[in-house]
Amino acid sequence: MSPANPTPPTARKAKSTWDLSQIYASPADWEADFHRAEAGLPELGALQGALGGSGAALLRALEQRDALFVLVDRLHMSAHLQADLDRRDSASQARAERADRLMARFHEAAAFIKPEIVALDEAQLAAFYAGQPGLETYRFHIDEARRLRPHARSPEVEALLAQAGEVLQTPGTIYEALNEADLHFPEIADPGTGEALAVTHASIWGLLENRNREIRRAALQAYVSVYVAHRNSFAAALAGAVARDNFLAGARGYASAVEAALDAEGIPQAVYDALLHTVRAHAPLLRRYMQLIRRALDVEQLYIYDLSATLTPGVEATVSYEEACARALAALGVLGAEYTAVLEQALYEQGWVDAFERPHKRSGGYNWCSYTTHPFILLNWQGTLWSQSILAHELGHAMHSWYSQKNQPGVYSECTLFVAEVASNVNEQLLFDHLLDTTTDPQQRLLLLEKRLGQLYGALFIQTMFAEFELEAHRRKQAGEALTADALDETAHNIHLAYFGSEVSSEMADPFFWEIVPHFQWNFYVYKYATGISAALAVARAIRQQGQPAVARWLAFLEAGSSRPSLELLREAGVDLTTPQPFEDALRTFSELLEQYEADLAA
């Protein structure tokens, strides 16, 4: 898409491939650090039993653990980045597996630390702080360990749970191998030209935006049919992940897996419940949106393959990677000179992004970094508005990492997963605001509103539906029910009906609902997209309305990492997720955009 007042293109060419030699110049260098990390494991383990002796002993163990983690994490990230560039490169996959085992061994070696912290009495700990000022850095970290005291286990049990880490990740490993390496999708033919169209993990989303309904139908049929052919394998992987979550929750004395997952980040279950209740109560708003799509497409019945279709005809929606980089810079300039300067380095100098799809490259997109490297962003660029949004989204993650690492010690340099999706969604909203502000052509404005509605629909409604599905799957497994493919289809089907009613046919919906979502392997992650977009809309609204004061609060949030409770950090940024208000406000934003689109369409 080319706005009527386009962002001036940069004179420089954006880098679009990683240079992983920035991390390790050669495999020999990686091996040298690997052996150094292995040697550090028994040195850390030798400190077991000594932490209650003095503040100095406690500080030494924490600092030694953190230094070793930085090394192990760098090795782990480097190996997986290389493996993700070609999922069929056996040497890279083997190195990634070795890195996984090393990470599991690290957690096993460090498993004694939290139980020994929990065992300290208050008088001991106060004396340690008084005599060892360096412990102040770790005060919140220590407080968090002690907050979870009721769910801590003996050093022996903690070590056993850590040792089981690699085994417990097997369902996710199987899912990834099946999904990324073993699935092969048939090509489809363009009904007008006969041209063969490739169906891949990345291309499917562009095909589903196509105005031609036959292309959309054929693309989704080709995509879903491969999953259906492996439905029992995918069901087994998901059932294994759910069983793992339930086992770990029970091992730590939690009543449920969702309680355990939320408590790990200090999130009350009331937040999760309020999200599900509030969004489901707005199902009529979702159905109104579906009715708009049905009218725009002029069809009697909507199917899943219709829901991403481009509704605005006659508008070019192709975006080059160069254009997207320039627009991201322009849109995010509101966050200040330093933010913009770092983005310039990321996109044009240091090569943070591996942008384009290649055979056997990992699908999707992510941001990954370690404490001693810049962030690395993986994309599978498709040249669409969605691709442009994903770039802004992942840059949000990356800049959160950059600010946290710059301003926090290693122990607080990673944000919690609960707040991770806030920064990414703030960037998406700022990009949308910028594009809408710089677009004067009515048709292009309609297209922007349409695509933003689709994004909010996905983050607010679909991710909340996924969260409800995940909760129900864990409940059914905990109750002793078998999570067969048929049972998972049934669960997905019931939730589909509760939200969409009769507006969208369930044909092809059930496998599309649960088989293709890797996030179900991540133990209650999907709800964070919905809480994240709700918080992000509030932050972006404040930046737009208040300017510099809101920007200052936001940058302080990015700099804070995980140095304070997640909900507290968000409150300081201006959002209180302990009330339903942010969810209500986000749904109101969706409703207002829907009204705006309907008004512009009628104009």
What are the residue numbers of the active site?
394
Question: Quick one: CA dihedral 15, 20, 23, 24, positive or negative?
Answer: negative
Q: 396-413: buried (b, 16+ CB within 10 Å) or exposed (e) per residue? A: bbbbbbbbbbebbebbbb
3-state secondary structure 424-487: HHHHHHHHHHHHHHCCCCHHHHHHHHHHHHHHHHHHHHHHHHHHHHHHHHHHHHHCCCCCCHHH
Q: Are strands 376-381 and 353-356 parallel, antiparallel or unpaired?
A: parallel
Measure the CA–CA gap between 337 and 318, rounded to whole angstroms.
29
The residue among 429, 430, 432 whose CA lies nearest residue 445 is 432
Q: Which residue has the tokens 């989704």?
A: 220
Q: What are phi and psi of 316, to 5 degrees?
A: -70, 125
Q: 452-463: buried (b, 16+ CB within 10 Å) or exposed (e) per residue? A: bbbbbbbbbbbb
The residue among 233, 201, 197 whose CA lies nearest residue 218 is 197
Number of H helices, E strands in the chain: 27, 5
Q: In degrees, to the nearest 5, what angle opens at C-alpha 461 toward C-alphas 466 and 284?
A: 130
Measure the CA–CA gap between 236 and 390, rounded to whole angstroms.
30
Give the pair of three-digit tokens for residue 380: 């599978």
The residue among 527, 535, 548, 526 whose CA lies nearest residue 576 is 535
The one-letter amino acid code at 579 reads T
The residue among 246, 283, 299, 252 whose CA lies nearest residue 505 is 299
Q: Are 77 and 33 in contact, with CB atoms under 8 Å apart?
A: no
Burial classification of residue 537, based on how many CB atoms lie within 10 Å of its CB (0-12 exposed, 13-18 middle, 19 or more buried) = buried
